[in-house]
Structure 1
Amino acid sequence: MNDSSTHSRTPDSTVGPRTAEPRTAGRRTVLRALALAGVLAGTTFSALPPVAAAASGAPETHTLTIRHLDRAGHATGGYSTHVTGISGPGAQEEATPYDESGTVTLRLPEGRYLLDSTLYGTDPATGTDWVVQPRLDLNGDTTVTVDARTTAPVDVRPPEPGARRLNGIGFVEVTHEGTTRSANILTAREGLRVAHLGPASEPGSVKEWFDTYWSGTRSDYALGYTFTSDRALTGLVRHPAADRLATLKIRGAAPGGAGGTGFVSVQPSAGPTVGLAQPLQLPGTATVLVTPERGLWDVALTGPAAPETPPNRYEENGIAVHAGATTTHTFDNAVFGPALDTRPGARPAGVRDGDRIALDLPLLADGDGHAPSAPRFRTATTTLHRDGALIGTRRGEPGRAEFTTTPGAASYRLTASATRGDGSPSSERVTASWTFASATTTRPAALPLSTVRFAPDLALDGTAPAGTALRVPVTVQGTAAEAGVRSLTVSVSTDNGTTWTRVPVLDGRAEFRTPGPGRSVSLRAELTDARGNTLTQTQRNAFRTR
């Protein structure tokens, strides 16, 4: 990957990589995909022609001359410069001027501009210079000199000697009069040098961050630092000790023994970035050390692609980290079952709008409650009954269906089921059946749905030791968690759901002994909330013993 820079015109505009010639557009997810794909593509973005003399009533224009000097102080044609309007009559202007002599002239309307320039040496091994002028006030003919001799190194590296640098990104945002413009540079090599150019901007108006990603023998590293100031950075040195970093352990499971190669990705939650993307042999654990200074972090696991189906992706976003602490996140392991999004402001899983009833609930979320992007299932069915009469049956994606019912108040039973595996008696089958009262609404209203989550401590093949006493955490989500639980019972089956035994639930844990090796354990929860709404949830062959 060649060193390149990218720019965005507004805070929510598209962002794309730009090399000395090509330029393309894409959002934050595109930048992340670059790390996974290792491809940097683009289309030509040509310079704007000089603006003609201002006509009557048009904004006054001025000449902007930009000179480019290399590290020896000589004029150079090895550069890529971008000028973006921030405020004033030129707020919507954007230009990428170029002349091989190293000096380029253009005319632009008056206003505040952001200028950044990437200078490339003749030898890529010598590195790249990135010069940023966050405040270019064009109120008369102006000459700017971009001089590589003013730059200082970006020297950020992990505490593991010999760790291999994968990629990095520098990003700057400048805000003036309520408008934000940005520029960035993608770097695949070490040797980047940076400098501020021009006068200081207003206090706190310049936000900048640098993220670098590394692969080591003991772990991988995602090192990110943010700065808020009135200037762009001139150089950056960070050599964090291991105890100043936080550890993320990402465990990828292979329940049922189905392995393969997946990909782990880690990136800061805030701002555009490239991210770390590394292969992981499943089942397995990836260890990534990250900088707490960068804020919250996102992690994801993308599973192996199956024939004629997209790869399955799980993610967990907004993870708080602390220096010296370890957090562990497990993906794609049993027990698979329904899960509700319990974050504040989350969209309800079931909604009635007028006489339309819709369900959108991850029925096959993994053992930690992560919803899969492409759930693996053989069959999926959802039915709705009104006062005992069938309204309809829907087949398709697990936990997703929509019905139109009869106006007025009535009692409803909504049942969703899905089967994982090959459909044999040993396949995992999840069923959730809710009863509730509902009437026609004048606006969308959440249905009073609850779920029960079981979280046994399982190996990454989805198994528990045979013949041992388990204390399985049981968590109630949804309406019952908010309004209160009137009753909750848990039952266990070791014969594929033919017979069931009620087990005690003490201090939020179901207690029972696992059967002999190679057997399956099925789980059932029967719940009534404080308002009389009920749930019967069955997870047949939820996990196996070893």
Structure 2
Amino acid sequence: MLGMNDSSTPHPTAGPTNTGTGTSRPARRTLLRALALAGVVAGTSLSALPPVATASAAAPETYTLTIRHLDRAGTATGGYRTNVTGISGPGAEASASPYDASGTVTVRLPKGRYLLDSTLNGADAAAGTDWIVQPRLDLDHDMSVTVDARTTAPVDVRPPDSGARYLHSMAFVEATHEGTTRSANIMMSSAGLRVAHLGPSAESGSVKEWIDTYWSGARADYALGYTFTSARALTGLVRHPAAASLATVKVRGAAPGGAAGTGFVDIQPSAGPTVGLVQPLPLPGTATFLVTPERGRWDVGYAGPAAPDTPPNRYAANDFAVRAGATTTHTFDNAVFGPALDQAPGARPAAVRDGDTLSVDVPLLADGEGHVPSAPRFHGATTTLHRDGVLVGTRQGEPGRAAFTTTPGRAAYRLTATAARGDGTPASGRVTASWTFTSAAAPRPAALPLSTVRFAPALDLDGTAPAGALVRVPVTVQGEAARTGVRSLAVSMSADGGATWTRVPVTDGRAGFRNPGPGGTVSLRAELTDTEGNTLTQTQTHAYRTR
């Protein structure tokens, strides 16, 4: 059993724990996902709470809180862990984790609204764990609270596959009052969680709760999550979803060039904290997950096997919608590798002019679906900048990433970024993108008008397509030209590694041509001009192979 919160400070006890915290969600979510990817599921307990109450130096009005703990037989028990976390009022920053082996403990705290949560474990570990949450504890006089395991009801969430194996689950509660949110959670690596609300109801809509359970089946894995917003914490939960009510998510891990090995796939809901499911994936291969649409949008990640002297290559597809009865598929680490620009609203520009500084960060080696790798496999990368035909500078290092200092006046620029893929041999291929545009210093940072072209042929998971086949390769424009419009776009292909090129027709967003014979390669080139006169010449040699 595992209890977790937003801190990496180890707590000296093991077993399920519960915590209260006001840490921001991005930091919490980053830690939880990192723990999931690291395979931390059981035998660890984390807590950021001090063992005694803390209060401000102003010595506010305080009251005594007495907490009694009863097990499922109604007997006083010392097998508990209780946290009291301030939400609002003078005690907003106070917190305590009081303990006394007798089962009755007192603590003195400043006046205010608190979140109390308590985990109780009986002598028989197989009997499960009780988690009781009081989202509204208004401490304005000396008072007593009884945490009673007899009030709990089971969390009974099961997939439609009776043979599926339970992996772990997590319950998380947020309580909000006067604009401040505090939280508590419990994670279980064994079944048998029971939960209950304690105390009066809070304000309508001020309590949010997530419960996620993860299972492994013979043909698919399951991520079953539910979200609730009300004035109370949950007392029990029963969900036995039918297969037809679940959405299917397939994650395909490629092995381009015939490489093998084992990757890792993870899945978790996009909203709210959780520790998702991580499974190994022999490559090339496909992992199948059945998930609950009620939990909202979802994230998946993929980590490829580490190559010599390089870390594992990580990709992610985040915040995508799912629908009951429908299948969503994400393919990672397959060709065609090439430049990609983030098209999400409000995304950070890939290139910016700030005064005399021109900064570039264009992912040159995104995979065939546009997922950007954390550690792209490349052998040498160069970025150069010319101003009115005169070299400003050359930078070497990470593909598509560089910064240059230029001069204020308006001028014509040519920016060129190139990277050799894989081990740098000619057969591994090379990606080059060259942009022209005009630019001048401005009073505030301004995005540079860059565009890219994405090619998305239908490929097997080894990065190959049928030899001699007539193909229609989807062609997508990203960046400035997608926003302002395309004046012209020409696509060419080469069957001899770029020694010669053949212009091919583009109809309805697809480039048509015939693949070369078995064991050949296809190289692709795009020449684009947008309606403002900015240009792109993009070349991807040995973009994919034929079989």
TM-score of the alignment, normalized to the shorter chain, above 0.5: yes
In structure 2, the residue corresponding to 1:338 is in which secondary structure?
A: coil
- Which stretch shifts more, 435-444 or 184-193? 435-444
Distance 1:439 1:38 in 2: 50
Alignment deviations for residues 212-264 of structure 1 (CA, whole Å, 9 cap, x no partner): 11110010010000001111100000000011000001111110011111110
Q: Do structure 1's residue 4 and structure 2's residue 15 form an aligned pair?
A: no
Alignment deviations for residues 252-280 of structure 1 (CA, whole Å, 9 cap, x no partner): 11100111111100000011100011000
Counterpart residue type for residue 498 of structure 2 = G
Distance 2:196 2:232 in 1: 10
Task: Give the deviation of 1:438 after TM superposition.
Answer: 1.1
Distance 2:186 2:361 in 1: 40
Task: Give the deviation of 1:20 after TM superposition.
Answer: 4.9
User: Partner of 1:480 in structure 2?
Assistant: 481
In structure 2, the residue corresponding to 1:248 is in which secondary structure?
A: strand
Alignment deviations for residues 404-444 of structure 1 (CA, whole Å, 9 cap, x no partner): 11221111110000011222221210000011111122211
Identity of aligned residues (%): 74
Task: Give the deviation of 1:51 after TM superposition.
Answer: 8.2
User: Partner of 1:316 in structure 2?
Assistant: 317
User: Partner of 1:534 in structure 2?
Assistant: 535
Counterpart residue type for residue 386 of structure 1 = R
- Structure 1 residues 431 and 46: CA distance shift in structure 2, 3 A: closer
- Structure 1 residues 16 and 214: CA distance shift in structure 2, 3 A: farther
Counterpart residue type for residue 306 of structure 2 = A
User: Partner of 2:509 in structure 1?
Assistant: 508
Counterpart residue type for residue 191 of structure 2 = E
Task: Give the deviation of 1:484 after TM superposition.
Answer: 1.1
User: Partner of 1:462 in structure 2?
Assistant: 463
- Structure 1 residues 307 and 42: CA distance shift in structure 2, 3 A: farther
For residues 186-197 of structure 1, what are the structure 2 equivalents within 5 Å? 186-197=187-198
For residues 252-263 of structure 1, what are the structure 2 equivalents within 5 Å? 252-263=253-264
- Structure 1 residues 323 and 422: CA distance shift in structure 2, 3 A: same
Counterpart residue type for residue 461 of structure 1 = D
User: Partner of 1:163 in structure 2?
Assistant: 164
Q: Do structure 1's residue 124 and structure 2's residue 125 form an aligned pair?
A: yes
User: Partner of 2:109 in structure 1?
Assistant: 108
In structure 1, the residue corresponding to 2:427 is in which secondary structure?
A: coil
In structure 1, the residue corresponding to 2:225 is in which secondary structure?
A: strand
Counterpart residue type for residue 116 of structure 2 = L
- Which stretch shifts more, 227-236 or 39-48? 39-48
Distance 1:312 1:439 in 2: 37
Q: Do structure 1's residue 204 and structure 2's residue 202 form an aligned pair?
A: no
Distance 2:79 2:260 in 1: 48
Distance 1:51 1:206 in 2: 25
Q: Where does the alignment leave 5 or more consecutive residues of structure 1 unmatched? A: 9-13
Distance 1:402 1:36 in 2: 33
User: Partner of 1:436 in structure 2?
Assistant: 437
Aligned partners of 2:4 and 2:45 also within 8 Å: no
Counterpart residue type for residue 390 of structure 2 = A
Counterpart residue type for residue 249 of structure 2 = L
For residues 125-524 of structure 1, what are the structure 2 equivalents within 5 Å? 125-524=126-525
In structure 1, the residue corresponding to 2:540 is in which secondary structure?
A: strand
- Structure 1 residues 327 and 51: CA distance shift in structure 2, 3 A: closer
In structure 1, the residue corresponding to 2:190 is in which secondary structure?
A: coil
Distance 2:340 2:504 in 1: 22
Distance 1:324 1:220 in 2: 16
Counterpart residue type for residue 261 of structure 2 = G
- Which stretch shifts more, 433-442 or 371-380? 433-442
Counterpart residue type for residue 499 of structure 1 = T
- Structure 1 residues 517 and 378: CA distance shift in structure 2, 3 A: same
In structure 1, the residue corresponding to 2:72 is in which secondary structure?
A: coil
Alignment deviations for residues 340-375 of structure 1 (CA, whole Å, 9 cap, x no partner): 001111111111111111110100000000110111
- Structure 1 residues 373 and 47: CA distance shift in structure 2, 3 A: closer
Aligned partners of 1:47 and 1:98 also within 8 Å: no
Distance 2:129 2:542 in 1: 57
Aligned partners of 1:222 and 1:289 also within 8 Å: yes
Distance 2:206 2:428 in 1: 58
Aligned partners of 2:74 and 2:148 also within 8 Å: yes
User: Partner of 1:525 in structure 2?
Assistant: 526
TM-score (norm 1): 0.95
Task: Give the deviation of 1:42 after TM superposition.
Answer: 4.9
TM-score (norm 2): 0.95
User: Partner of 1:11 in structure 2?
Assistant: none
In structure 2, the residue corresponding to 1:66 is in which secondary structure?
A: strand
Aligned partners of 2:65 and 2:143 also within 8 Å: yes
Distance 1:445 1:100 in 2: 63
For residues 58-69 of structure 1, what are the structure 2 equivalents within 5 Å? 58-69=59-70
Distance 2:53 2:374 in 1: 49
Q: What's the C-alpha RMSD, in Å, of the aligned pairs?
A: 2.0
Counterpart residue type for residue 118 of structure 1 = T
Alignment deviations for residues 161-196 of structure 1 (CA, whole Å, 9 cap, x no partner): 111111110000001111111100001111000001
User: Partner of 2:97 in structure 1?
Assistant: 96
- Structure 1 residues 384 and 457: CA distance shift in structure 2, 3 A: same
In structure 2, the residue corresponding to 1:498 is in which secondary structure?
A: coil
Distance 1:146 1:19 in 2: 23
Counterpart residue type for residue 311 of structure 2 = P
Counterpart residue type for residue 3 of structure 2 = S
Distance 1:423 1:506 in 2: 34
Task: Give the deviation of 1:17 after TM superposition.
Answer: 8.2
Distance 2:238 2:499 in 1: 65
In structure 2, the residue corresponding to 1:397 is in which secondary structure?
A: coil
Task: Give the deviation of 1:5 after TM superposition.
Answer: 5.1
Aligned partners of 1:16 and 1:31 also within 8 Å: no
Distance 1:404 1:393 in 2: 11
Task: Give the deviation of 1:15 after TM superposition.
Answer: 8.1
